[in-house]
Amino acid sequence: MPAPTTRRSLLPLLHVSEHLTNRSPRTCRYRCGDQCAQPVPNTSANEYFGDMVAATVSRRSVLQGATGAAVVTSLAWGTAEDAAAAPGRGHGQGRKNLAGFEPIPPTPNHVDDVIVPAGYAWAPVISWGDPVEPGAPDFDVDAQSVEAQKGQAGYNADYLALRRGGRGGNSANKGLIVVNNEYTNPELMFPGYDDAAGPTPEQARIEMAAHGMTIVEVSRTGQFAPWTYDRDGARNRRIHTWTEFAVDGPAAGATWMRTSADPSGRTVLGTLNNCAGGETPWGTSLSGEENFNQYFNSVGAPDPGKRLARYGIASAGRGWERAEDRFLVTAEPNEVNRFGWIVEVDPEDPPPSPSSTPPWAASSTRGRPSGWPPTDAPSPTWATTSATTTSTSSCPGTPTARASGPTT
């Protein structure tokens, strides 16, 4: 049975002001490193992939397909009465709403609430700091530590997948959720945080531990009951900035993947800024490392081939070099090459289960991938990145593998 947890109130919204979009400036700062205010790294005349997609695919058409069914199947739930009611109607003059619910009307971004469609309810499944791994303590905002955060739920959830069924898929009321923990907001995490000075080495390490992925078992008492997480789930796992990832494919062992800590160039520590993701036909989870460039201090680093500029690595970073010099480009120039990939994790194979080297290597174009679409057949899959345009994978990978390929 899931252990009861003490729920904390939601964090207040950050102050919202004009910042090119209607997002909070803090969101832009920590999520993508103010990308819209930086020089455009891709100066080619190639057609922008977003425009190509917009010309052929609409959000509504996606909802009509199998992908839409996965999108609509969320952790919100309806009541029994609503289940018996007629399907929702859209705004299309009486045409059936293919999504199955009434769309949420536009809501001002200063509204501090979670808005769900009529007939639905919501409840938190897991919150930042909730214990996930054995021995992890209950969250205490005034007593945070690196070791505690390594075993607690990560920060700022992005992609989330609900994998129905217990181990072996034996129950409709049990499952596993895979969550990307994309980025951190230190000014909200640490009471009295000095924004002007930046993080202390300890605060930076806690942020590093809060990045990555959270994998936890969940259950519910029935079809119309909320999901709750199991604190003692056997498959619970935190993946953070020190989790080892094996590099597969052409990049494995490449000169530009080697560092002083990994002279073989075959084992990367951690994953960060994990944005969207997807599930493979063979049961693993894929996660795209998006704006990795903002984590590296490149001040004073030589860039004769303009490769740093091509990936937007042109800032003082987030202060993580105070904790580990691998985030200082002048100290470890190749560390930047080890992020910005699509990583692969087997949620059914948590430590300490042994992991074997895969007989097939996945391959992917390096970029700043924002997603990986799900497929229902083991055929080549296309993913998009913000730095390049294509990547493929058509074969099983290791329980924690880094999909890799030649830099272009």
Express each pLDDT in 295-349 by its tens digit. Answer: 999 999 998 778 888 888 878 889 999 999 999 999 999 999 999 999 999 998 8
- Beta strands across the sheet bearing 400-403: 267-269, 244-247, 400-403, 342-345, 285-289, 274-279
The three-point CA angle 231-235-239 to 5° equals 90
Domain presence at residue 31 = no
Would the pLDDT of 221 be above 80? yes
Written as six digits, the tokens of 142 are 């005034």
DSSP-based three-state secondary structure for 269? strand
Query: If pLDDT is split at 50, 70 and 90, which confidence band does 401 have?
Result: low
- Give dist(CA 398, CA 402) in Å, integer: 9
pLDDT of residue 316: 85
CA distance 150 to 136: 8
Range from 123-127, 187-191, 378-382 carrying the lowest mean pLDDT? 378-382
Burial class from Cβ neighbours inside 10 Å (0-12, 13-18, 19+) for residue 303 reads middle
Q: Which two tokens stand for residue 220?
A: 């519910």
Residue 26 forms part of a structural domain: no
The token pair that represents 93 in the structure block: 């003059």
> Given this model, what pLDDT does residue 36 score?
64
Helix (H) / strand (E) element for 83: namely: helix 80-84
pLDDT band, residue 210 (cuts 50/70/90)? very high
| Domain membership flag for residue 63 | no
Does residue 10 sit within a domain?
Answer: no
Do 90 and 64 meet the contact criterion of CB atoms below 8 Å apart? no
Question: Which range has the top average pLDDT, 13-22, 199-208, 359-368?
Answer: 199-208
For residue 206, being part of any structural domain is answered with: yes
> 116 or 314: which carries more pLDDT confidence?
116
Classify residue 85: in a domain, yes or no: no
What span, in angstroms and rounded, lies between the C-alpha atoms of 247 and 230? 32
Q: Is the pLDDT of residue 92 over 60?
A: no
Of the two residues 151 and 223, the one the predictor is more confident about is 151
Q: Between 240 and 390, whose confidence is greater?
A: 240
Tell me which of 75-84, 132-141, 293-302 is least confident.
75-84
Across 55-59, 273-277, 356-360, 374-378, the highest mean pLDDT is recorded for: 273-277
Percent of the chain with pLDDT over 70: 64
Handedness of CA 358, 363, 369, 374 (dihedral sign): negative
* Strands (E) located in 182-272: 212-219, 228-229, 237-239, 244-247, 267-269
154: number of CA atoms within 13 Å, CB side?
34
Given this model, what pLDDT does residue 355 score? 41
Segments forming the whole domain that contains residue 134? 125-403
The average confidence (pLDDT) of the chain is 76
What Rg value do the Cα atoms of the chain yield, rounded? 21
Mean pLDDT of 245-265: 94
Residues in the chain: 408
pLDDT-based confidence at residue 363 (cuts at 50, 70, 90): very low
pTM for this structure?
Answer: 0.73
In this structure, is residue 387 part of a structural domain? yes
d(CA 402, CA 296): 20
pLDDT for residue 205:
98
**Tokens in use for 330?**
């002048």
Give CA angle at 251 (248, 256), nearest 5°. Answer: 140
Please give the residue that has the higher pLDDT: either 119 or 21.
Answer: 119
- Spatial distance between the Cα atoms of 301 and 304, rounded to a whole number of angstroms: 10
Q: Please compute, for residue 169, the number of CA atoms within 13 A of its CA located in the half-sphere on the CB side.
A: 4
Phi, psi of 363 (to 5 degrees): -135, 145
In a domain, 16, yes or no: no
Q: Which two tokens stand for residue 178?
A: 């895979």
Domain count of the chain?
1
Return all residues near 134 (Cβ < 8 A) that are at least 6 apart. 151, 232
407, 311 Cβ separation under 8 angstroms: no
259 contacts: CB under 8 Å, gap ≥ 6: 265, 326, 332, 334, 335, 338
Asked if pLDDT for residue 383 goes beyond 70, the answer is: no
Asked if 237 and 285 count as a contact pair (C-beta separation under 8 A), the reply is no
Between the two ends of the chain, the Cα-to-Cα distance in Å is 49
DSSP element (H, E) containing 71: helix 66-72
How far apart CA 389 and CA 385 sit, in angstroms, is 6
